[in-house]
Amino acid sequence: MTKSKDTLKAFVILLLKGIGVAGLCLLLVWGLREQIHVAIDKCLVPLFGFKGNGALSWFFTAITSSLGVLLVKRYCVNGKVVSMRDAFLLLVSVGLYGIFRCWDGYYQFEGYWDCGFAYTDGFAIEALALLLVFAIQRVLLLFEKPGEEQSERFSTDLPIESFDEDMFELHGLVKRIVKYIKQTDVSKHSFSMGIVGNWGEGKSSLMNLIKKEFKSEKDYLIMDFRPRASKDVNHIQEDFLESLRRVLAPYHSGMRRTISQYADTINVATGTPELIKWLLSLLRIGVSKDISTSRKALQDAILDTKKSILVFVDDLDRLTAKEILEVLKVIDRNGAFAGLYFLTAFDKKYVNDTLTKKLVSCQQSYDGYNLFNLIRA
């Protein structure tokens, strides 16, 4: 039930935003209608400023009727979904038409057989009908309930996102973890926590529930770091710093510049456009490129935000040995800033076996678990 309420709330917020933006667009058009009249008179009136007659009435009747049949077949019979983008464009189009058809009074709209129903009114009605279809489709999607035939089905093995879906009573464990996190001081160093368990034992579900508990906490920021989605092993640290920038940039005006400078000193590229990189390089003329200096600058910037960042690292046990080592380098060194909590989910046996095999071949030893305070999922 909670998930349905959250979905409904998100939809209503998105709908209100769309209506608000459409309203602002229409308000702008209304304010500029005199200039728009001039443009229409020059460009469109010579093409479409015709006088109505019987032949045109039959022509537009055929066109609007054919279009109506096509729309009914496509959206009502075949069940094609009206997208949010199309609904927004339809709303703006109908609004613009309404301004010039009903309120402006500057143009005369020719009608069918000299009646008050204009040739273009049919298209506006069809657009309104599509908006009604959009509204009905969204309401049905929001309040759709699984039928009896779905009582026996394959399990998707997807992680849960709310306590309403919790079949394993994780609520108590989540509350304790949240309490421990809040009581752990990260003002001088980062803190790393490992959530271990075999594949399918609920590690991702546990992390989702922890995220949900912190979403309402204004002093904590949530950062999803997905090394599995990185282009290759050489982009993992770049993706981490880029994610960190996106999370912190709203709270610090110099975060892009500071992270870019730090990335340069550790020889990591960032997703910053080349033009911005060049401008930032001009600003950094005379600035030290020493790693400790740039690291301290980034550390100070993070602490200046007065925010704690929860970094969720999932699917570590689906990476190659090189990728795992790169992630551990982020957690243990290049991303280990005060103010950051790392919560990493992984299968302990897989990670151990993968790294042992890799490092034994290189005649090295592995003691990576010292990086994590382990919790069993």
pLDDT in tens, 99-120: 888 888 777 777 787 787 888 8
* Under 8 Å between Cβ of 196 and 348: yes
Q: Average pLDDT in the 227-251 region?
A: 93
What's the pLDDT score for residue 145? 64
Q: Using one digit for the tens of pLDDT, what is the confidence trace for 68-100?
A: 999 999 988 888 888 888 988 999 999 888 888
Which one-letter amino acid corresponds to residue 88?
F
Distance CA 324, CA 358 (A): 11
What's the pLDDT score for residue 236? 94
The number of residues in the chain equals 377
Q: Which helix (H) or strand (E) holds 178?
A: helix 171-183
Is the pTM of the predicted complex or chain greater than 0.85? no
| 44-58, 175-189, 293-307: the lowest-pLDDT one | 44-58
Q: Using one digit for the tens of pLDDT, what is the confidence trace for 340-365?
A: 999 999 998 899 889 888 776 655 55
* Under 8 Å between Cβ of 92 and 128: no
- Where are the domains positioned within the chain? 2-142, 170-376
Is a pLDDT exceeding 70 seen at residue 291? yes
CATH class of 170-376: alpha beta
What's the pLDDT score for residue 70? 93
What's the pLDDT score for residue 286? 46
Q: Average pLDDT in the 252-266 region?
A: 90
What's the pLDDT score for residue 102? 84
Which one-letter amino acid corresponds to residue 62?
A
Selected residue with higher pLDDT from 45 and 39: 39
Distance CA 309, CA 104 (A): 53
First and final C-alpha spacing in the chain: 25
